[in-house]
Structure 1
Amino acid sequence: MSAPFVLAVAGPPGSGKTTLSRALAERLGGAPVLSYDAYEEITGWPPERVAEWLRRGAALDEVPVPGLAEDLARLRRGEPVPDRERGGILRPSRRGGRPVIVLDTLLGRAHPGTGAQIDHLVWLDLPLDVALARKLRSFTGEARQDPAAAPALLGALDAYLGRYDSLLHPTYALQRARIRPGADRILAAGTLAEYLAAILSDLPDALTPRTA
């Protein structure tokens, strides 16, 4: 059997990468989703360390995602890996055809550890103001679901906005400049159904059968 096909989804925070990755995995026969967010450590850096990283040129090989490249390689070999996002075990789908792995990532092909393992990269090309609005709604949505958590979420939102101009926006602009050019498919704002139709039409017929 052929090695699993790695389908990567990238875009700025708030672009809908995770929602799209999960929908693709379902359509592709229950493919495993490997998520950058479950491995990354840069959000734990103090702001001054991020600022220094940006000042030095923001080398993407310095972004710490320990274990991500190794787990992706193991999945490509057909070996199970821990699901660090949801718990349990991830395995390549074997429901006929060529198995698929979905990689939900911020770094695309620009990251030296995982980029060379990607077969097809999709970039969600949302304007940063739209992505920001979606990100803010994630804070307010959590607060609406759990009012008791609202004070903590308000603090997190204030911290996020407080460093947006000086740190986050420059980082997201840099991400777009470096990752977007390496994409095989660039998708402007659209519905989930439109995204799925566009991406699935690009993929080889030999992949795991698509479900309705």
Structure 2
Amino acid sequence: MSAPFVLAVSGPPGSGKTTLSHALSERFGGAPVLAYDAYEEITGWPPERVAAWLAGGAPLDAVPVPGLAEDLARLRRGEPVPDRERGGTLRLSRRAARPVIVLDTLLGRAHPGTGAQIDHLVWLDLPLDVALARKLRSFTGAARRDPTAAPGLLEALDAYLGRYDALLHPTYALQRERVRPAADQILGAGTLAAHLDAVQSAIQSTLHATLTAVPTPTA
């Protein structure tokens, strides 16, 4: 089997990177998805610590994502790792000529631990106001699905918006400044299906017919 191909998807929160990552997993034969959000700890920082980090130049090597680089390296070696996002275990798919690993990450190649392991980086180029609108709809959508959770969601939404001007918007602007330039592919507005086709077209020759099914090894 060929060495795994690490396909990373990045963009601001609300850009649809998680949706695209899991759709790419399906497109590429059940590829495992490693999610930055399942490892990151910066959202647990108090506002004053985030403000100090921004004032100090916002070094991305100071963003704590314990275990993410190590789990990505293990998957690349063909070892299983825990699925911290959805539970269970992540393994390379045996249904493709060259296995793919999808990395759903805010940091792209700018993160020293995982950046060097990325083979192809997709940036979802969504304006921050549109990304914010989508993020807000994630709160309202959750409240519609479970009205009993609405009070807690309203409190979380209020806290999110309370931090947006001073902390979150500057962080997202820095992300765009530092992550976008290193992208191999930039996707703007478009449907999920169009984005899937664009990514597949961009990397297909490198993958050497990844989508060609191969027999599943028997025990």
Band the TM-score falls in, shorter-chain normalisation: over 0.9
For residues 96 and 25 of structure 2, what CA distance do their matches in structure 1 show?
A: 15
Question: Percent identity among equivalent residues?
Answer: 82
Question: Alignment partner of 2:160: what SS?
Answer: helix
2:17 matched to 1:17? yes
Matches within 5 A, 1:70-85: 70-85=70-85
User: 118-127 or 193-202: which moved more?
Assistant: 193-202
TM-score normalised to structure 1 length: 0.98
Aligned-pair Cα RMSD in Å: 1.0
Residue 173 of structure 1: aligned partner: 173
C-alpha change, 1:210 and 1:150, in structure 2 (3 Å) is farther
Question: Alignment partner of 1:152: what SS?
Answer: helix
C-alpha change, 1:192 and 1:96, in structure 2 (3 Å) is closer
1:93-128 deviation per Cα after TM superposition (whole angstroms, max 9, x unaligned): 111301000000000000000000000000000000
2:131 matched to 1:125? no
Code of the aligned partner of 1:23: A
Matches within 5 A, 1:159-170: 159-170=159-170
For residues 157 and 175 of structure 2, what CA distance do their matches in structure 1 show?
A: 22
Residue 185 of structure 2: aligned partner: 185
C-alpha change, 1:131 and 1:116, in structure 2 (3 Å) is same
Structure 1 segments of 4 or more deviating over 4 A? none
For residues 93 and 31 of structure 2, what CA distance do their matches in structure 1 show?
A: 5
**TM superposition shift of 1:210:** 6.5
2:169 matched to 1:156? no
Conservation of the 8 A alpha-carbon contact between 1:108 and 1:121: yes
For residues 90 and 71 of structure 1, what CA distance do their matches in structure 2 show?
A: 10
Corresponding pairs, count: 211
Residue 216 of structure 2: aligned partner: none
Code of the aligned partner of 1:56: G
Conservation of the 8 A alpha-carbon contact between 1:29 and 1:210: no
Conservation of the 8 A alpha-carbon contact between 1:100 and 1:207: no
Question: Alignment partner of 1:114: what SS?
Answer: helix
1:115-162 deviation per Cα after TM superposition (whole angstroms, max 9, x unaligned): 000000000000000000000000000000000000000000000001
Matches within 5 A, 1:9-88: 9-88=9-88
Conservation of the 8 A alpha-carbon contact between 1:10 and 1:105: yes
Question: Alignment partner of 2:197: what SS?
Answer: helix
TM-score normalised to structure 2 length: 0.94
For residues 169 and 116 of structure 2, what CA distance do their matches in structure 1 show?
A: 27
Residue 208 of structure 2: aligned partner: 206
Gaps of at least 5 residues in structure 1 are none
